[in-house]
Every structure is written in structure tokens, then in C-alpha cells.
A and B are shown apart, each in its own frame.
Chain A
Amino acid sequence: MRRPSLLRRNKPREILSLIRHEKRERMLKSKLQKYHAYDIKEAMLSMNEDERKRLYQFVDTPKLSSVFGHLKDEKAVDYLREIDNRDAAHVLENMEPDDAVDILQELKHDVAVSYLALIEEKRREHLRKLSKYKNLTAGSEMNPSYIAFSPEMDVKDAMKKLVQKAEAAEMIDTLFVVDEQHRLLGVVDLRELIVARHPKRIDEIMDKNFYAVHVEDSIGEVVRSIQKYDTLAMPVLNQEGTLEGIITMYDAMDIIEEASHDDLAKLAGLPTEDDVYESAGKSAKHRFPWLALLLVLNLIISSVLATFEETIAAITALVLFQPLIFAMAGNIGTQSLAVTILRISRETLDTRKNVLKHLGKETAIGAVNGLLLGGLSFATAWAFLTVSPMGIVGEGVVTALDIGMVVGLSVFISLLVSAFLASAIPVVLTALKVDPAVASGPFITTLNDITALVVYFGLATAMVFALL
């Protein structure tokens, strides 16, 4: 991360101060209109309700719709409530349909219905249709604002049509050619159309060798094809090959960003949204569940420890190195986990062979690093106990060397097992259709801790038995 330049304008802050201090209404209106929707959205996150209401009043509907399009769905739902029904419906009506559907699906059913009733009929039907597609499919993210020609059209007429429709279209770099049943026949690169000369039919300049996705394809797949083929606008087709909408590279970029950030935040048990502007109470509430879960999981660890009470009482020095083993096992687990989650989200673990290869590799890494760190821990623990002035080891038969050996061996085994578990569990969860990013973190950590404990105190107990 880099330090933001101090010289750069902080546009959200400018907007905020406009809302707070600009008393001349006409001035406020014209100034606000100049800001990009993204900056207004950023500013909105630091406003209180009264300030936001002032904002709604002075930003025109198309811009406000665009601002709402930039908000996360849950936030958009919260803020929509602050606007009266008719205006809220207008905001939804002017939004890109895929964004509007996301928000409608997030709303309570009766609220959604009341908004829909206020939306212009054609648009309403369209939103209904889009909302039938399952979440995270190409259908749910597509946009209907594309331009299509018929194959026999002359390039001159096509250009005329393009000029007429350009304003309403999401993007005009890729144009589409469809037959009477609206089946996709080919795509036309705008550059080809611009340089083409009349008389020439559209189908002479179209590319029949195009890529398309299906309405039910997973959005992850779609995003990957867009990136791979550098497609500015990916056509989305239904069962009959009819063109239903497009997904742009910009949409794809947004989807990737949101997904990867959420995954990472979930892995670390962090809030997925900036909570800078929330009250302390609300933030605390958001972070509490994760901590409560850790509390419960830690009780399991406590129980395991309790079973080794006698060993601990006999050799208190063992307790010294327990955090160290946890820390290393935990860290090697996190490393394998992150690598695995990233590979799952990139879908490179698609065949059984790849999965096995991956597990083999992660386990081998665990073995190699386990061996190195096991050796190192043995040496340092031994040295630590030997130089320790307090005679922690006591007068018993157990020597510093013995404890050092137990520590070293435990580190080796724990690291090996941790690396394996942390790469295997997300794969298994994915196969069971559980989101591996959510479920993996706390459970793998706890499992690793328990493994480390059982190995460590188990070995120690065995040693005590052997020596006494």
C-alpha cells in the first residue's frame, strides 16, 4: 500500500464540506452535479442522515441512480429508506438494471413490490425477468443496453442506427448482429464499422467466430473468459441462442474486486465493509460473532489441555514453548490456506489430478519447513532452558535436552500436519458446496492448535513415562 499523495484533491471531503457549509442552493446543486458518482458515494459514507437527505435533494435522479449503483447492496437498501417511495422508485428505474435487481432482491418482499409498482411498465417487466436468474449467474449480472443490427443492413444505415442509440448504450465498442428471432449471428468491432464504406452489408464485416456465455453460467467463469479473451462486451445467450444481454469488462473488474476482497476479509474474520463511519457500538456488534466463535473453539483447546494436566504439573517448562509451536503451526497453516483459497477462486484445482498434486506439494512444503524449523526449535529451546537462570527444568530426571527434543519433534509433526489440513479442508468444503473462505479460517486454526497440543503433550507424556 502506498501513502496517498497529500497534494491530490480529496474529492469526497470537498463534497462533504459542500453539503455541510454551502448555503446557496443553486450553487450547491451545480457544484454537486460536477462530481463523479463514485466520489459522491464515498462522501455519502461519512454523512449522517440529515446530510444525506440534503444530498438527495440537490443531486438529480440520473446521478443519484449512478451513486446508488456504486454502493454495496446492503447500504443501498438502508439509504433508499431515507427517500420517499416515488423518488426511490425513480432511482431504481434509472439505475443499470443488473444493479437495480441486486438491490430489489436485497429488499423485503413487500417493499420491493411497492417500488416495482411505481416503475415504468417496460422497465418493470425487464427487472422482473432479470430477477428470475439465480444470483451469481451470468443472467443476474447482464445488462440489456447493447446495440444490435440485422445481417442484411447496410453499413451506412448501421452507422445511423448507432448514432441514434449510442447515448443509451452501455458501450458501443462491440456491436451485435442478430437474426429475426434475435439469435446472435456475429459481432462487429466498432473500428470495422467506422472504416467500412457503403455499399457493404453488416454480415460482410461481422466476426462469426465470437465468444459468448450462457445465462446460467457461473459469473466466475464469465469473468475469467472476459479476462482471458480481452472481451470488452461478452454476449449472454439463452438456451435458444437468443441474445439476452451483455457483461462488460468493467462489470467483470468490479465483480473480481468485490469477490477477492470479501474472501480475504472473511478468511481473516474481518468486516467485509469499511466501518469507519459506523458508531463504536455497531462496529463492536459486527466484530463480536467472530470473537464469540473463537471463545467456543478455544474451550475445546482448554479441554484438550486439561487432559494433560498431570504432565504439565510434572514439567511446567513445557508450557513455555506451547505458544511457539502454535504460532508456527498456525502460520504455516495460514500460508497453505491462502494459497489454496486463491487457487480455488481461480479454479485451477479443477481436476482430481491437480488437487492431488496440490495437496502433495503443500504437504511436502510442510515437511521441508517442518524439518528445518524442528531442528532450529530443538536447538533454541535447548539453549533457552540451559541458559535460563531460574532452573525451570527443576531437579527432576527430565533434562533441557529432553524437552528440546520434544519441542523439535512436535514442531516437525505439527507443521507437516498443519500444511496438509489447511490445504485439504478448503478443497473438501468446496466439494461440499460450502464457501471455503468463510468456514476455513477459525476451524483450521483450532484443528491445527489441537493437533499441535496433542502431539506436543502426547510426546511429553510418553517421555515422562519412559524416563520415570
Chain B
Amino acid sequence: MPRKQRIYELLKKGTPKALQTNILKHHPSDVADVLHTLDGERLEHVVKILNHHVLGEVLSHLEPAAAERVLRYLDDEKIARILSVMDADDAVDVLKITAEPRREQYLNLMDEQDRDALASLIDYREETAGSIMTNEYIGVKKGIDVKDAMRTLVGNAKSTESIQRLFVLDDNDFLVGVIELKTLIQARSPKVIDELMHTEVITVKEEDSAESAARTMQNYGIYLLPVVNEQNQLKGVITMDDAADILDEETDEDYARFANISHEESVRASVWQSSLHRLPWLVLMLALGLLISGIIAQFEATLEAIVVLVFFQPLIMDMAGNTGTQSLAVTVRGISKDYYGDKAASLKHLLKELKVGFYNGIGIGVLSFLTSFLFLSVIGAREHSPAIVALIVGMSLMLSLSLSSFIGALIPLTLYKLKADPAVASGPFITTLVDIIGLVIYFMLATILLLSL
């Protein structure tokens, strides 16, 4: 990577003068990547040379903990200046992990406006829309002329992260409308801005989740989303780059949930840390597995008498488990999209999943009857007729698929109606439950058809 190599050379060997001027040629994001690989001594040297503008830009691209490490080499005054330069939401992330006496000190060294801006953002809880917003936006008063709005824009453009939209406020800071920059630059004075704004503004509340804010931006193609409080006063805006980061984190969480790993596991975690993160789920699988052992033990006599049954046991469990998971995933996604708001819709969905399971049950049942019959004939059937064993396999699959599909929908819907989070309790439990149902059907049928007859 020649680009990073060049930055590395510059940071490692550059004279103070070269550093100050040449660093500007590189993107802060690249500089951030290299900066944080430097050893302590060199890092100290470099950050003492670079000015607060450059450092502010660069540190906005680092994880808060890494940024905090860099800041430690600097005196309080410079730190305060850097934090003022950084995007407000990034600066707040750093301040949040800074211990109290120092945090207060930095804030005291800033000018009043910056201090108030940061102080008002610090208290938002993690993962809320408030915690990812910035209060650098351009607000204009209702009723002013487009010319004055343009003047406000020109005056604040440089210090504002995004200027795609201007927010129109009344005297109490209530958000009354939004003007797209495109519209504003085309307008001619005299004209009151109220004529140009839309009043049907899509907003989120401070306490809404960061994820739902990001999804709103993605779905509606909004580059700059206003965040308001309960009274509809504008508190800040969310920019699209932050929304994209949130969606990325959500993807990580989705994968983690799918894999049953706690989502804090990072690429840099040690083997021990990673092992520990993954252990709880494995222990849970062990416990659930033992439950299944207990069920199988009930059918010991049948198994001892008909060993061939064992050959198809993984098949029965696998199919039931997967059908259950499929319908679970569809249902959970439907719930998250609010498809099953009323009773009729829920019942319709349950009925549908039952039907889907039944159709596939017939298909797979017939197919498995044929294949297992073939299989048993090839390996040479023992004391029991291959046709009857194959019939047991086929019928069990037909029944257990219908039931699994139904249960995969029923359990998350029930949890949802009980106001519990359907995604939490479902995964391995549903699999185990449908596994057990599949096994019981299988062994019961076998006991009835082979042993009793």
C-alpha cells in the first residue's frame, strides 16, 4: 500500500516542517490508520508538531479509545482545542471515556459555544439517536427572506458538517419545516422561506434507537435527519456517514446473533477472549443436547430392537430443525416490520406457516420415503421390512415438518404478544423443541408400527 507507506515515512522520519505541510496532502482517515500504529515516543513527537486543526480531523476517524490514547501526550489546552475542531459527535465519544476531573477541565478551556454544544450531547444513552447526532446544523428563523437565509448559510457553511438542508425554527426552537439547499439556491428574493419549506418533515426522537434512525435515513434517502425532543424542538441532526457506521455495526450484530457469539468480540480479541465469548452458547447446546438424550433414553427398548432407526435419526432432527428455523426467521422479520399488528394478520400468518410446512412435509415425506427405501434395500434390510421403516421415516418427516413450521411461527408471535423480544428467546430453543417433537413422532411411530404389530 504505497499511500500508507508514504504517510508512514512522513510520520516516522519527516522533519517538523515537512510534517506540518505534507500531512495536508493525505486524507485524515489514512493518517489516522498510520498514526495509531506508531510507538509511544514517535507518536508523542508527531502529535506535538501537528496543529489542532489537523489532529481534530484525524482523531475524528479513530475509535474513541485510540483517540484518547493520542490525546494523552498533549497539554490540556491543545486537547480542548482539538476537541472543539472534531465533529461534535466524535468529540463527545472521546469525552465519554475521559475520567471526570479531566473532562471538566477540557470543557472549561473551550469557548462557551463549543462547551455548551458538547455538554448537551454527553448525557444521551448509548445507541440512542441522540448519541449519534451532532448539533452543528444550519437553523433559520421562520418568516425571514431567502436572502437572509442565504446569508446565514454563507456565514456558517464552513463550520457545519453538512449543509444539504436548512432547518426552519420558530421562536421557541420548534422545528416547523425543512428547506433543501437545492431549493434555496434557486429561489429569488424577495420571498419568505416559509413558501419554500416542506412542513411534512420526517424526524426521529432523541430517545429513539440509533438503528431506527439509520434505517429511516436509508429507507427514505435522507442525508441529514433532524432529531427532535418530545415537544418537537430541534436538538440536532444525524449525518449519513454516521448512519452508515450504525448499519455496519448492526450487520455485525446480526451475524453475531446468527452465530450465537456475543457481539463484542472484535477481530483483535485474543484466543482466550474469543473462546470465552463463544463458550456460553456451547454450554447451552450441551444442556439442550442432554435434554434430547433424556428423550431418546425413553425409547431405549425400541432402539435396541430396531437398530436401523438410528440411521435416520440425524435426518429427522436436521429437517425439523431447519424448517423451524426458516419459519422463525420469516416471522421475526415480519414482526420487526410490523406486519402482524392485528389478530387477523397473526392468525393468517400462523395458518400460512402451517400450510407451508404441510406442503413441504408432503414433498419431503415422499422423497424421503423413496430414498430411505432405496437406501435400506441397498444396505440389505435386516429383520424389518425396508418398506415399513421407510414409511415410518416418510410419515415422521411429514408430520414433524408441518409442526415445526407452525411452532417456528407460533413461538415468536406469542413472545411478541406477551411483549417480550421475540429474537432473544427463540433460536436454539426452537431448534431443540422441534428436534424433540421430531424424535418423539419418529420413535412413537416406530414403536407402534414395528413393535406392536
What is the interface of chain A, defined by CB distance below 8 A to chain B?
1-4, 10, 13, 34, 36, 38, 42, 159, 162-163, 166-167, 169, 171-173, 190-191, 194-195, 209, 211, 227-230, 232, 249-250, 252-254, 256-257, 260-261, 264-265, 267-271, 274-276, 280-281, 283-284, 287-288, 290-292, 294-296, 298-299, 301-303, 305-306, 309, 312-313, 316, 319-328, 331-332, 334-335, 337-339, 341-343, 348, 361, 364-365, 368-369, 372-373, 376-377, 380, 384, 388, 390, 392, 415, 449
What is the interface of chain B, defined by CB distance below 8 A to chain A?
25, 27, 29, 153-154, 157-158, 160, 162-164, 181-182, 185-186, 200, 202, 209, 211-212, 217-221, 223, 240-241, 243-245, 247-248, 251-252, 254-256, 258-261, 265, 267, 271-272, 274-275, 278-279, 281-283, 285-286, 288-290, 292-294, 296-297, 300, 303-304, 307-308, 310-315, 317-319, 322-323, 325-326, 329-330, 332-339, 341, 349, 352, 355-356, 359-360, 363-364, 367-368, 371-372, 375, 379, 401, 416, 419, 421-423, 428, 435
- Chain A residues with CB below 8 A from B401, complex form: 291
Do B163 and A339 touch across chains, with their CB atoms under 8 A apart? no
- Chain B residues with CB below 8 A from A295, complex form: 315, 319, 364, 367-368, 371
Residue of B25, B336, B355, B375 near A1 (CB, 8 A) is B336
Residue of A167, A172, A253, A313 near B240 (CB, 8 A) is A253
Closest B residue to A209 by beta carbon equals B25
Please report the C-alpha to C-alpha distance between residue A422 and residue B355 in the assembled complex, in whole angstroms. 34
Closest B residue to A4 by beta carbon equals B338
- Chain B residues with CB below 8 A from A167, complex form: 182, 186
- Chain B residues with CB below 8 A from A256, complex form: 244, 247-248, 251
- Chain A residues with CB below 8 A from B267, complex form: 343, 348
Closest A residue to B256 by beta carbon equals A338
Please report the C-alpha to C-alpha distance between residue A163 and residue B184 in the assembled complex, in whole angstroms. 9
Do B314 and A301 touch across chains, with their CB atoms under 8 A apart? yes
Beyond A250-B240, A256-B247, A305-B310, whether A361 also contacts B278 by CB under 8 A is: no
Beyond A302-B315, A369-B279, whether A194 also contacts B153 by CB under 8 A is: yes
Do A287 and B356 touch across chains, with their CB atoms under 8 A apart? yes
Interface class of chain B by DSSP: helix
Beyond A4-B336, A328-B289, whether A369 also contacts B360 by CB under 8 A is: no
Do B300 and A195 touch across chains, with their CB atoms under 8 A apart? no
- Chain B residues with CB below 8 A from A328, complex form: 282, 285-286, 289
Do A268 and B163 touch across chains, with their CB atoms under 8 A apart? no
Give 6 closest A-B pairs by Cβ, nearest first. A324-B289, A338-B259, A280-B355, A284-B359, A298-B315, A368-B275
Closest A residue to B219 by beta carbon equals A38
- Chain A residues with CB below 8 A from B416, complex form: 3
Which of A1, A250, A365, A380 has the largest number of chain B CB atoms within 10 A? A1
- Chain A residues with CB below 8 A from B220, complex form: 36, 38
Which of B258, B325, B341 has the largest number of chain A CB atoms within 10 A? B258
Which of B162, B182, B293, B297 has the largest number of chain A CB atoms within 10 A? B293
Do B314 and A290 touch across chains, with their CB atoms under 8 A apart? no
Which of B185, B265, B282, B326 has the largest number of chain A CB atoms within 10 A? B282
Please report the C-alpha to C-alpha distance between residue A79 and residue B297 in the assembled complex, in whole angstroms. 54
Please report the C-alpha to C-alpha distance between residue A98 and residue B293 in the assembled complex, in whole angstroms. 55
A-B CB contact pairs (8 Å), 30 listed: A1-B422, A2-B212, A166-B185, A211-B27, A249-B244, A256-B244, A256-B247, A264-B251, A274-B330, A281-B359, A283-B356, A291-B319, A295-B367, A296-B371, A299-B375, A302-B312, A302-B314, A313-B304, A313-B307, A319-B303, A324-B293, A327-B292, A338-B255, A338-B258, A338-B259, A339-B255, A364-B275, A380-B290, A384-B294, A392-B300
